[in-house]
Chain A
């Protein structure tokens, strides 16, 4: 079987790798929110607010990768 690596294929692999980090990061953020809510249910509103703020900072990395995918492919 003959596999040729094209630019879009490589870009897709690259984006897949680049999405790992933000994925772990977003998971950690919301894990912390769930943890905090379980410990102190009345703090949920405040925690969710902070979570969205940090979530967007982490998400920006994944989105930069997404844009680079289209630039590279």
Chain B
């Protein structure tokens, strides 16, 4: 099929892949994703500093957005995962994490950025390691080293014989797979979504450049698909920010909980 299309003229279609994510360095060591993540830090920080600096009884638009986000993170994420008496110290982290990931993901949808920052695995890896270190630290601080690992790996209500199976599985899934799946989930959804859009857009351009008139008519179909999929991506980007924050809250909540 590929050889057939090439024979009719035009360049070979290059399928988008990991090489599509390599950007030239603007300054030494600074590429587009690095700029984006710095911009996201400034945006989120400035937004919350300004919004919390002048709170009014009757909220304006900015205050409404910040209060809506806070309400969503506290009631939709925090209260479901962390016991109410422990929730307060972790709310700023959860709120910042949610907004930060959301802004970074939305860069994939906003024109002229058009690249979700989290499609580079280093950024979600950093966030996942933060979450990993945090939930273990919180658990050890609350329960002590021995009791925390004891309650996680050797719950008292599990029969002794089952522990042979239970403990290794629980150890791997809790302390090794959690950061990996957090990283890969955020990274791979952003990466896959970006590649999917690239396939349709580059494919549409490729069809448009063909010399045969009939083939040119395929390209609008590809572009329309790309627009539709952009909105699907918008949904997924918001969902992944929610999921990452929710899982972090879940890990903190389960580390804090007293036994099962």
Contact = CB atoms under 8 A, between A and B. Distances in A.
Interface in A33-73: 49, 52-53, 56, 59-60, 63-64, 66-67, 70
B53 interface: no
Nearest to B240: A56
B242 interface: yes
Interface string B128-153: 00000000000000000000000000
B239 interface: yes
A56 B181 CA distance: 10
B69 interface: no
Interface stretch (B6-14, B101-109, B185-193): B185-193
Interface string B178-213: 000100110111011000000000000000000000
A63 B185 contact: yes
A52 B239 contact: yes
A53 B246 CA distance: 8
B89 interface: no
A56 B192 contact: no
B242 A52 contact: yes
Contact of A56 (B76, B80, B191, B243): B243
B136 to A, nearest CB: 20
B156 to A, nearest CB: 25
Contacts of A49: 76, 80
Given A66-B188, A67-B188, A60 B243 contact: no
Nearest to B246: A53
A56 B178 CA distance: 12
Contact of A64 (B184, B239, B246): B184
Contacts of B76: 49
Interface in B110-135: none
B239 A60 contact: no
Nearest to B180: A64
Contacts of A52: 239, 242-243, 246
B223 to A, nearest CB: 25
Given A49-B80, A63-B188, A64-B184, A70 B17 contact: yes
Contacts of B29: none
A66 B192 contact: yes
28 contacts: A49-B76, A49-B80, A52-B239, A52-B242, A52-B243, A52-B246, A53-B246, A53-B250, A56-B185, A56-B243, A59-B185, A60-B184, A60-B185, A63-B184, A63-B185, A63-B188, A63-B189, A63-B192, A64-B181, A64-B188, A66-B188, A66-B191, A66-B192, A67-B184, A67-B187, A67-B188, A70-B17, A70-B18
Interface of B: 17-18, 76, 80, 181, 184-185, 187-189, 191-192, 239, 242-243, 246-247, 250
